[in-house]
A and B are shown apart, each in its own frame.
Chain A
Amino acid sequence: MDAAVESLVRVSHCRQAYHKEANTDLVVLDDVNLSLREGEIVALLGRSGSGKSTLLRIVSGLLRPTAGEVLWRGRRLDGPADGVAMVFQSFALFPWLTVQENVELGLEARGVARAERERRAEGAIDLIGLGGFESAYPKELSGGMRQRVGLARALVVHPDLLLMDEPFSALDVLTAETLRTDLIDLWSDGRLPVKSVLMVTHNIEEAVLMCDRILVFSSNPGRVASELTVPFPHPRNRLNPEFRQMVDDIYALMTRRPKPEPRALTAEPVSPMATALPSRVGTNLISGLLETLAGEPYHGRADLPALAGALQYEADELLPLAEALQMLQLAVTEEGDIQITETGRRFVEAETDERKRIFAEALRTHVPLVRMIRQVLDERWNHRASAVRFREELEDHMSPDYADDTLRTVIGWGRYAELFSYDEEAEQFSLEDIA
């Protein structure tokens, strides 16, 4: 009882599923529990597609969960909650409104009188460092300034809870860092008119730098894999060894394979269609990472956070790549490290044609979907097969977006390996031009 009174938001046994025509539901979030207290910044950290943005929208009341309960200050949430304001990844500023008008929008919606509105907007604009830009239109501003408008617009309504959906991921590194430190400074000084902050991020360092608590999500379906408390006082130092250790630990957490489903190739209980392939992992990236890994200074084994830093990648970009290498058995990841395999090394040393052969072999052995496409093509008299059929089968097991990504990745890999070709106009796989 006490906990319910204390906490601002309480999400219990929340499940979000998209209904499919087949009997299977697409589960995006499964049995998620979360409670937010006053005076803390909490991060939802996870790979893209782990449902963390969905959870944020559920907390904000924009989305109603399929099952489970959301309590806002002890009362059931039904529709967008009062006292919650949101900052968007894409800023979501109205291009036809000036900075001032954008900031006033939330107040206007509440029917605040004009004079009061202007006064409060001025206050928020000055607080967030936008003074002098009141009459500018968003398109005249840089990305950093735009997100400041987004922040001011959220803060001006004095929300109890500030929700931020990857607020800094559309900004360049320097700008993002400035905004983060400005925000944390205001928070530490107690000048932010909010009681609590919940932010979604895929940037591990950002989470450790800003938050008091981190919920790490696992994907497919999204679950809270673990919860960590960040014990460091503000301002935090990224170079502090304890800080680094924590970042390392989280990397290890996020690369850990899920415990059930050991990858046994002989007995496959799951359908070949049930494995989503990472999106935007091209063969150039795969070769590039393998070459980097094999060369100086890593000699075949690298610490993932260090590698991400050296390549200027965010965890969210590096992890799918590492996962792809793992899947193809070109490298293995364990405890935050990545280690090249024997096949991976052969691949690096080979010439183009030999590389294609090695890659094709890896695909046929480790990616059931590729094996299946090729099998269908071999069996057909005209060696053609429609992609629509594979997409539909994939969609029985994953969301349409995932199915699309998976199919696109498979097409890219298969083309490189010269296992099949693909006609985009006709949406057909074929064996044309395949020796």
Chain B
Amino acid sequence: MRWETVIGLEVHTELSTESKIFCGCTTAFGGEPNTHVCPVCAGMPGTLPILNRAVVERALRAGLALNCKITQNCKFDRKSYFYPDLPKAYQVSQLYAPICRGGHMEIEVNGEKKIIGIRQIHMEEDAGKLVHDPKSGGTLMDYNRGGIPLLEIVSQPDFRSGAEVIAYLEKLRETLLYLGVSDCKMQEGSLRADVNLSVRPIGGEMGVRTEMKNLNSFKAIGRAIEYESARQIEILENGGYVIQETRRWDDDAGESYGMRSKENAQDYRYFPEPDLLPIEISDEWLDSVRESLPELAHRKRERYMRDYGLSGHEVSVLTGHKNISDLFEDISKQSRNPLESARLVTGEIMRLLNVTNTLPEELSPDGRKLAVLVELLSARKINRNAYKEAVEAVFTDNAEPEAYIAQKGLMMLSDDNAVSEAAGAVLADNPDAAADYRAGKEKAFGFLMGQTMRKLGKAGDPDTVKKILKEMLDNQEGA
């Protein structure tokens, strides 16, 4: 029999707000345990939540960008279960009226386009972090993460392969980054995906699904899907039944295992959160969010190709991260030289990110200093070697470009006498090469040129050197 894998995704993304969803504690990552905590997010008796407006705004941005219908009268519900990471033993979430419903996103796998349906997006609070304590043998509870705002983006079961899932996640990540909704750092847990997977004979009835948790990287997700799909097919081919359960992926072992059945049989007793008021999103509010949406990556790609005539490779590098495209656009705008700006960002800047192990999210999108260098290069005030050196100084030490160039003497010599002097010395030292050139060996010119440039250091303007050297050789010939 031929089997088909049916996958749906629940993606949780932490929002990049300053403060938590229901209190003023910071959302900053890290921090000493329990130092980003107040009575509200610690769930102390008598405390009450106040909703952070920015959470609603970000949910609206995500919803609009993902083509959702916005629930203009939405509200929060309580989801109850007992676990030490949940200080109130209920999570404030949305079940009955989630903020967004019915959207979609287009993905592309191996050149084929496909639409993935989005069932709903809802807002909720994150849980705290539990850490094993080797000293007491117990579990340590840290509520710094508790109350950080999350969006849960629930897809339709429209995926048929791990590759589609990865393509969706990459595009979703890129979109959320562009929207400024989340910083989507998987390593910090700000983007997490649960995979619902079942298999069925192609075209047959929907199978029993399992839910996989603890997927911490795109790679882990790909592996887990492959594993789970094979596991279910094997069970079914041997005449067995798949049990509906939650499974935990162990990336080191490369396998998943079922969680205790008790955790599976949940009755969350959702009911409307009485401590929060319903949210009414007016048409005006919605319009203002719609107008403030930034250009998304795929639209940018089209524009870069059309307006700047950039190559497909350059465009995909530039739109790989919002900071990178923002930097490119800023340099481009300030230097009025998009082609050279694109060359700088896709070349030197990408190389420097790589060698310094810097993540794009740490990159400043402020292009002022680099734009100065692009202008100097275009105006032939510095040569390309000097340019590269200065770019590196700006990137690594945040150097001031003009001061750096002045200090290092990188400004090109426009003084022909200095060039003539250097060229004369080189010709005197290398009579053989001069003779070779005159004998018609063009290669020798390159050698003489290189020697002259070396003598002049980074201040040499290759065009001037070339001109003067040629003149001198021709003159000598005539002499």
Say whether A associates with B.
no
Give A residues with C-beta under 8 Å from B.
Answer: none
* Chain B residues at the A interface, C-beta cutoff of 8 Å: none
